[in-house]
Structure 1
Amino acid sequence: MSELSSSGLRSPIPPFPSSAYTNYSLLSQSSYETMDITGPAANRSAGEVIMRGWCWLKALTKRCKKPMVEFKNKLKKVVTDDPRRVTHSFKVGLALSLVSLLYYNKSLYGGYGSSIIWAVFTVVVVFEFRVGATLSKGINRVLATLVAGSLGLAVHHLACLTGDKGEPVLLCFSVFLLASAATFTRFFPGVKARYDYGMVIFTLTFSLVAVSAYKTDEILEVAGERLITILFGCVTCAVISIFPFPVWAGKDLHKLMFLNLEHLAVFLDGFGGEYFGVEDNKESEDAITDKKSFLEGYKKILISMSEEEALTNFARWEPPHGSFRFNYPWKHYLEIGKVTRQCAYKIEELHNCITSKIKAQSDFIKIIQDSCMELSKESGITLQDLSAAVKQMTYPKAASTHIKNLKKTAANLKTVIKTVTLENANVLEDVMPGAMVASLLVDIVGCIEDIAESVIELAHLAKFKGADPAS
């Protein structure tokens, strides 16, 4: 407030100094300059953010590169191992698309309602890689649904006659009895191999019908709709599985048989040079590596039993195709697989002789070397001839001649061993390794003879080209 003068008049307010205006203006300007968001500091900050983002993106790309390359290699391996997998994937998609059209068709959907979903379920669980597996599941599913549905309706009719109190008791008892019986039946080997899936569907369908029938008045109509939709799904799977690019289990089983024989032949053909150290020095490193990798091929035979049994089961469900007529003797392939595995176990012992580093370079080894190599070579030729006969489905006419040569060579080897007289020889270190190899080669001759007999029997049963029909 302004002070009053002695005369009582208010004194004038002194003017604000111009220097103060100048200082205030400068202060305000400097304050706004410090708050300017477009200044150099802000530009540096934005540049750092961009650089950090770019570095992070580069690091992320480097980290993702290795997993992407690994995924690419795995994808390539899956496709190259069996290109039929790609076709199968498209076939499953096609089957599901066709079944899904039932939903989009109002006239069909109005007639079947929510029961159409059973067709989709059927395609998902029934469609398999091979035709035989698809037909096996489809037929099992249809028959099991039909039988279980019929029994369920019959039990429901009987339960209705017992009244409101007796109906749930009879239904529960029937579910307990039939489910227990069906589950126990699955333990039988024959049922387990061919009808296991059907028994599961039988148990499921009967239980669903028995339970739903207690609260539903239109059980007969619902059961009929589900059976029709399931049948439609199975037929769709069968048609698409068989006609466009079929994958036959029978062909795969046939191929597996002659490839197994070929693996044995390759091993025996190269065993002599590998064990006795008689190798061609002119061979390239890649050729030697490939040759030694073929010596490992027999190991696939040792673990092929389950695959053979599965393929045999699926092949029996398939219709005639190619050179495989109706009632083809698929079960005999299991017999060939059995004797082939017995030979593979002997070959595994021979392979252990190579890897155990007990290949003594004694005088005894040098004496039996030629006979062992001749026997191993002749064994490989015999198995190669049998493999070609199975592959081409022709009668192995030269098998008897090869077997005679094998027996003669084995007898010569035994004679050589008996006539050997070594003075001052260490039996454990000098004689035993070679004697063990010679003994295994002689045993393999017996295995090859069994294989030849099985192949000849298959040629007669399957009526291979050149086989005697009267035999």
Structure 2
Amino acid sequence: MIHSIKVGISLVLVSLLYLLDPLYEQVGENAMWAIMTVVVIFEFSAGATLGKGLNRGMGTIVGGGLGCIIAILAQKLGGVGSNYYILIAGISIFIFGAIATYFRMIASIKKRYEYGVMILILTFNLVLMSVVREEQQVWEIACDRLLTIVIGFIISISVSCFFFPLWSSDQFHHSTLSTFQQLAYAIQGCLEDYMKFANEKENEAAATTNFTFCKSLMNSKSKDELLVNYAKWEPWHGKFGFSYPWQNYLKIGDLNRDLAAIILALRSCLQASKKPMKLQSWSETIQLTEPYCEEIGSNIVWTLKELGESMKQMRKIHASQFSTKLKASRAEIISMVVMMNIFTFNKISSTTLSILNNNNCDDDDDASLAISSFLFLLKEVVNKVEELTKEVEQLGDIAGFPTHIVQL
């Protein structure tokens, strides 16, 4: 709603170039270029609007300048509308259009400057063509249209940045923080569902954890990259200055997506073990390992929440501050594996032999594999959380956050 109101205000302001006679007398029909500029560059966030506006400005200046130079050169050689002018204009349009399109496809340019290159091609072509059909001088045409485009740019940026600004950097920062919380809840839910399997009556209620967030997080990479691209265009505001290390946020996002994938695999292991006839032979084992699960879950959830809080408060942490709890979690997992082997050594051995002999596994063998896989994936969760602590520490170093001692 805020964005819609801002667009409406911008359109009203730029339309005054047409509606008010004193302004119309200054710009004339070129006022249409100001309106077009507002329509095409006004985006949801200030960074996106600024990026598009600067791209349009740079494309207009470069394309218009090249077009004017070629047009003046062609005029001196043969005059406007002559065969020489048409030949030179045609060859120039082909050469510059082809070269600009080639550079437009380069990944680094396409990511941030594709719109600017497109405007360059458009402006260059329009300047050369306008000279043929209009009586104005080429410099006059270029200057008039550049002026109206600048007016549209100024109106868009002013409204976007000073009237309830919406910053891509804030949006990306807060979405990253919420990811830590959601992943912590998902891991805690996985372990709670695992412990519910000890009671067959709770089997139907076991898979109560909502994994929708993990699924959506798996597809968030392109959105994160887009927000970072917009954030890089934004001016200094609030907590975020120039050259803020957004690339480290992308690395943290990649690790969070890896963690989400492991959590979804944990859910699959739980689903593979939740039938009553599979649970019957494992309920006693799960009851014995329940204290270990509680300790592991507590350590991982605490670590993720502390990482999110340190980023929220922009405080530097040291990965070593979390090593004690993460090492304890690894030790608990090893204890769970030992406990499982004591009670299920024969089952796991028979399962391994049946796999090697390409035989089908019975239900108990499937449950054995599922819970063994669950423990392995739980260890991978601990490893991934440890990688996250190192990446958050690196972010604090680069961003210059003040050091914070975590209370264990």
Q: TM-score range by the shorter chain?
A: 0.7 to 0.9
Deviations 1:324-362 (A, max 9, x none): 122211222111111111111111101222334556433
1:145 has 2:60 as partner: yes
Residues of 2 paired with 1:436 and 1:373: CA distance? 18
The equivalent position to 2:385 in structure 1, one of 424, 445, 448, is 448
The amino acid across from 1:414 in the alignment is I
Is this contact kept in 2: 1:250–1:312, CA < 8 A?
yes
Where does the alignment leave 5 or more consecutive residues of structure 2 unmatched?
Answer: 200-204, 352-364
Counterpart of 1:318? Answer: 234
Counterpart of 2:170? Answer: 251
Is this contact kept in 2: 1:266–1:294, CA < 8 A?
no
Deviation at 1:294, TM superposition (A): 4.2
Is this contact kept in 2: 1:329–1:461, CA < 8 A?
yes
1:195 has 2:113 as partner: yes
Is this contact kept in 2: 1:118–1:230, CA < 8 A?
yes
The equivalent position to 2:255 in structure 1, one of 304, 318, 339, is 339
Tell me the percent identity. 33
Q: CA 1:111–1:279 in structure 2 vs 1: closer, same or farther (change >3 Å)? A: farther
1:214 has 2:126 as partner: no
1:353 has 2:240 as partner: no
Query: Where do residues 63-102 of structure 1 align in structure 2 (5 Å cutoff)?
Result: 86-102=1-17
Higher-Rg member (1/2)? 1
Is this contact kept in 1: 2:186–2:209, CA < 8 A?
no
Residues of 2 paired with 1:250 and 1:279: CA distance? 46
Is this contact kept in 1: 2:56–2:116, CA < 8 A?
yes
Deviation at 1:279, TM superposition (A): 10
Residues of 2 paired with 1:423 and 1:300: CA distance? 39
Give the number of the structure whose residues are more often helix, by fraction: 2
The equivalent position to 1:105 in structure 2, one of 11, 17, 20, is 20
Query: Where do residues 123-142 of structure 1 align in structure 2 (5 Å cutoff)?
Result: 123-142=38-57
Residues of 2 paired with 1:344 and 1:293: CA distance? 13
The amino acid across from 1:451 in the alignment is L
Tell me, what secondary structure is at the counterpart of 2:185?
Answer: helix
1:117 has 2:37 as partner: no
Is this contact kept in 2: 1:155–1:174, CA < 8 A?
yes
Residues of 1 paired with 2:367 and 2:17: CA distance? 78
Tell me, what secondary structure is at the counterpart of 2:403?
Answer: coil
With CA pairs under 8 Å and 6+ residues apart, which has the higher RCO, 1 or 2? 2
Is this contact kept in 1: 2:191–2:293, CA < 8 A?
yes
Residues of 2 paired with 1:120 and 1:279: CA distance? 67
Counterpart of 1:227? Answer: 146
The amino acid across from 1:213 in the alignment is V
Residues of 2 paired with 1:465 and 1:295: CA distance? 35
1:298 has 2:235 as partner: no
The amino acid across from 2:147 in the alignment is I
Name the TM-score, length of structure 2 as normaliser: 0.86
Is this contact kept in 1: 2:329–2:382, CA < 8 A?
no
Is this contact kept in 2: 1:365–1:431, CA < 8 A?
no
* Aligned residue pairs, count: 376
The amino acid across from 1:117 in the alignment is M
Counterpart of 1:67? Answer: none
Residues of 2 paired with 1:461 and 1:367: CA distance? 45
The amino acid across from 1:162 in the alignment is L
Q: CA 1:202–1:331 in structure 2 vs 1: closer, same or farther (change >3 Å)? A: same
Deviation at 1:161, TM superposition (A): 3.2
Residues of 2 paired with 1:125 and 1:384: CA distance? 41
Deviations 1:47-67 (A, max 9, x none): xxxxxxxxxxxxxxxxxxxxx
The equivalent position to 1:414 in structure 2, one of 316, 328, 334, is 334
Moved more, 405-414 or 97-106: 405-414
Counterpart of 1:402? Answer: 322
Task: Kindly report the root-mean-square deviation, in angstroms, between the aligned alpha carbons of the 2 structures.
Answer: 2.5
Moved more, 434-443 or 154-163: 154-163
Residues of 2 paired with 1:154 and 1:301: CA distance? 50
The amino acid across from 1:202 in the alignment is L
Residues of 1 paired with 2:127 and 2:370: CA distance? 69
Tell me, what secondary structure is at the counterpart of 2:164?
Answer: coil
Q: CA 1:148–1:184 in structure 2 vs 1: closer, same or farther (change >3 Å)? A: same
Is this contact kept in 1: 2:189–2:209, CA < 8 A?
no
Counterpart of 1:156? Answer: 71
Moved more, 294-303 or 311-320: 294-303
Counterpart of 1:389? Answer: 310
Residues of 2 paired with 1:330 and 1:262: CA distance? 20
Residues of 1 paired with 2:237 and 2:270: CA distance? 44
